[in-house]
């Protein structure tokens, strides 16, 4: 690919890189989400939005690239951030592919259009947020428009990074938490993806320190969130009637965002009158795909999740955590939960070194296979330190246990809580066998199919219960991009009431591992 090409092929690659970056930064973005409501879902919503876009692009006519992206982003948009980014993508892709002028001027103009359209979509724009980051990036791109396309993209990315740093001081909620704007970081990741394609280089933004959302004690569950409900829906309406409906919706709450065109719009609103907002919109047009989230419940859940982050809130930690696991993505997940990671390939020596490196008074060791369990028991018996061993048979069990880890509690309490978490997870896996896919539980084949989605639904359906709320999908080294998209689409259709969390685990020799909890 030409290093300066941001044509259909280049944009497809940039969107793929952006989606991969959202996978890697998802938990960080969620943890930074303190404004406008600390509900911890910015990363999740952006990722879900982009997954919808990427699924729509798979195998579609390149001549309809811009239309496909715009439609898919509109239909897949989730949350305040997802709705804003749907408009950003629409304007950006249309600006880059909509005329035949030079790449550098088209890129600068497209970024300017994206920033303007995002601001116009928000009923009450707030400075120091993603809107400001986009505007600063567009301004820098405009100043660099006489240079090469790679220079324009780099200038936009660098300006976005600097603008993002300033968001902390610009918004009181961000200043109080000491974090940058989560949506602004999402914008930086998008611009980093564009610049990496234009430059023919790797992306530059690394996963940073987690923020307070999801931390123990970070906020109380009875925190005032302003309005009780987040309401999202698709509105089909005559364009001339939209301004009146928009104004009346704005009077019913805040965080109103309306994006779309040609009689079809995605609406996002925080309000105390969820039914009233939907009814009002319905009197002006046709309402579809209504989603209502209880913000008070969501904020409460975000405030008690991820106990491992308590150490970042200034509480004294007493207990460290060491996990035995392999796969770059898996290791990153455990590290994000406060753990040191040792590879099972060198458990005999690496585990002892990892435990020795922990400076806390006590250590909980979480092995994930029989061999490392035996090594952990031996290390615990020989070290003379206060070491507790909690055994998880599978990575999903271990992730559940690590999520229950709290470094400020006693090791006995931590180990007990983690052992209980292990027991809440049902695990299955799917792998390719010759020309078919087979689903296994505890090594026994219980399902098979000609495609990966059929096998996955077949192996999960017998173990799924009404108590399960989350389905975690871990893709290993043997997982292909196309199969993964087919898998996620099949799971979303079969288990629409579950929250599906997908992580690129990179575990060697495996395709897909699932955890139900």
Q: Of 65-69, 93-97, 404-408, 424-428, where does mean pLDDT reach its minimum? A: 404-408
Distance (Å, rounded) from C-alpha 253 to C-alpha 292? Answer: 14
Average pLDDT, the chain: 84
CA dihedral 273, 279, 285, 291 (to 10 degrees): 60
Percentage of the chain surpassing pLDDT 70?
Answer: 89
What pLDDT sits at residue 298? 59
Asked if pLDDT for residue 219 goes beyond 50, the answer is no
Position 26 scores a pLDDT of: 87
Percent of the chain as helix, strand, coil, to the nearest 5? 55, 15, 30
Strand partners, 363: 320, 387
Neighbouring CB atoms inside 10 A of 351's CB total 24
Give the Cα separation of 304 and 135 in Å (integer).
Answer: 35
C-alpha R_g of the chain: 24
Question: In this model, does residue 181 exceed pLDDT 60?
Answer: yes
Structure tokens at 268: 């996002």
- pLDDT value, residue 308: 34
- Residue 416 confidence (pLDDT): 92
Residues 23-37 have a mean pLDDT of: 84
Cα diameter, the chain: 77
pLDDT score recorded for residue 217: 40
- Token pair, residue 59, equals 């195998």
Structure tokens at 210: 């987690």
- As a whole number, mean pLDDT of residues 23-35 equals 85
Sheet of 436-441: strand order equals: 444-449, 436-441, 426-433, 512-516, 470-475, 499-504
* Residue pLDDT, tens place only, 4-20: 468 888 999 999 999 99
Residue of 23, 45, 32 whose CA lies nearest to 293: 45
Query: Would you state the pLDDT for residue 4?
Result: 46
Average pLDDT over residues 463-470: 89
β-strand partners of 440: 429, 445
Judged by average pLDDT, the poorest of 96-105, 242-251, 393-402, 480-489 is: 96-105
pLDDT at residue 214, rounded to an integer? 55
Q: How far apart are CA 277 and CA 280, in angstroms?
A: 5
- What pLDDT does 225 receive? 57
pLDDT for res 303: 45
pLDDT-derived band at 309 (thresholds 50, 70, 90) equals: very low
**Res. 104: pLDDT tops 60:** no
Does residue 322 contact residue 283 with C-beta atoms inside 8 Å?
A: no
In this prediction, residue 216 has a pLDDT band, given cuts at 50, 70 and 90, of very low
- The residue that leads in pLDDT, 272 or 345, is 272
Lowest mean pLDDT, pick from 152-161, 217-226, 241-250, 257-266: 217-226
Provide the 3-class DSSP secondary structure of residue 448. strand
For residues 274-287, give the mean pLDDT.
89
In the chain, what percentage of residues exceed pLDDT 90? 33
How confident is the model over 337-377, as pLDDT tens digits?
A: 778 888 776 666 678 788 887 888 899 999 988 888 888 89
Question: Both tokens of residue 449?
Answer: 């199919």
Task: Spell out the residues 6+ positions from residue 374 whose beta carbon is closer than 8 angstroms to its own.
Answer: none
The SS3 assignment for 315 reads: coil
pLDDT at residue 370, as a whole number: 86
Can you say whether residue 285 is alpha, beta or left, with left for phi > 0 and alpha for psi between -120 and 50 degrees? beta
Residue 105 in contact with residue 145, Cβ under 8 Å? Answer: yes
Q: How many CA atoms lie within 13 A of 504 on its CB side?
A: 16
Calculate ∠ Cα 306-310-314, nearest 5°. 160
Q: Are strands 362-366 and 286-294 parallel, antiparallel or unpaired?
A: unpaired
Stretch among 105-109, 228-232, 336-340 having the lowest mean pLDDT: 336-340
Label residue 457 by pLDDT band (50, 70, 90). very high
* Stretch (H or E) spanning 338: none
Asked whether the predicted pLDDT for residue 34 surpasses 90, the reply is no
Measured at the CA of 384, the angle between CA 378 and CA 388, to 5 degrees, comes to 60
Contact of 13 with 197, CB cutoff 8 Å = yes
């Amino acid at each position: 690919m030409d290093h300066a090409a941001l044509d259909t092929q280049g944009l497809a690659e940039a969107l793929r890189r952006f989606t991969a970056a959202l996978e890697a930064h998802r938990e960080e973005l969620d943890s930074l989400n303190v404004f406008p409501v600390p509900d911890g879902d910015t990363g999740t919503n952006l990722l879900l939005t982009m997954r919808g876009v990427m699924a729509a692009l798979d195998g579609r006519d390149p001549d309809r690239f811009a239309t496909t992206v715009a439609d898919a982003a509109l239909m897949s948009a989730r949350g305040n951030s997802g709705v804003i980014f749907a408009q950003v993508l629409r304007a950006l892709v249309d600006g880059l592919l909509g005329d035949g002028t030079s790449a550098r001027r088209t890129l600068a103009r497209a970024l300017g259009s994206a920033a303007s359209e995002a601001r116009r979509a928000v009923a009450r724009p707030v400075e120091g947020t993603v809107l400001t980051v986009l505007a600063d990036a567009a301004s820098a791109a405009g100043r660099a428009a006489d240079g090469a396309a790679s220079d324009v993209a780099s200038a936009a990315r660098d300006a976005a990074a600097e603008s993002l740093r300033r968001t902390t001081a610009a918004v009181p909620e961000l200043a109080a938490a000491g974090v940058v704007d989560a949506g602004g970081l999402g914008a930086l990741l998008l611009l980093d993806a564009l610049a990496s394609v234009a430059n023919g280089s790797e992306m530059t933004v690394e996963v940073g320190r987690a923020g307070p959302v999801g931390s123990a004690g970070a906020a109380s569950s009875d925190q005032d969130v302003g309005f009780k409900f987040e309401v999202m829906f698709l509105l089909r309406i005559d364009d001339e009637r939209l301004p009146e409906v928009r104004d009346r919706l704005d009077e019913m709450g805040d965080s109103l965002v309306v994006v779309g065109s040609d009689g079809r719009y995605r609406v996002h609103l925080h309000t105390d009158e969820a039914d009233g907002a939907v009814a009002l919109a319905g009197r002006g047009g046709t309402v579809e795909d209504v989603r209502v989230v209880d913000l008070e419940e969501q904020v409460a859940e975000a405030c008690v999740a991820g106990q491992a982050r308590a150490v970042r809130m200034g509480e004294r930690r007493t207990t460290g955590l060491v996990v035995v696991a392999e796969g770059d993505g898996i290791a990153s997940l455990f590290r994000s939960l406060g753990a040191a990671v040792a590879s099972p390939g060198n458990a005999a020596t690496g585990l002892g070194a990892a435990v020795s490196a922990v400076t806390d008074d006590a250590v909980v060791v979480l092995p994930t296979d029989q061999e490392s369990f035996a090594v952990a028991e031996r290390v615990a018996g020989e070290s003379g330190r206060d070491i507790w061993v909690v055994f998880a048979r599978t990575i999903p069990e271990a992730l559940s246990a690590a999520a229950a880890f709290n470094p400020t509690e006693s090791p006995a309490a931590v180990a007990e809580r983690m052992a209980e978490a292990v027991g809440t997870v049902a695990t299955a896996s799917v792998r390719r066998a010759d020309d078919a896919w087979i689903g296994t539980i505890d090594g026994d084949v219980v399902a098979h199919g000609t495609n990966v989605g059929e096998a996955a639904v077949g192996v999960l359906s017998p173990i799924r219960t009404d108590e399960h709320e989350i389905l975690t999908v871990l893709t290993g080294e043997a997982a292909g991009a196309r199969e993964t998209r087919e898998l996620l689409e099949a799971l979303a259709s079969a288990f629409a009431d579950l929250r599906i969390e997908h992580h690129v685990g990179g575990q060697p020799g495996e395709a897909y591992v699932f955890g139900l909890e």
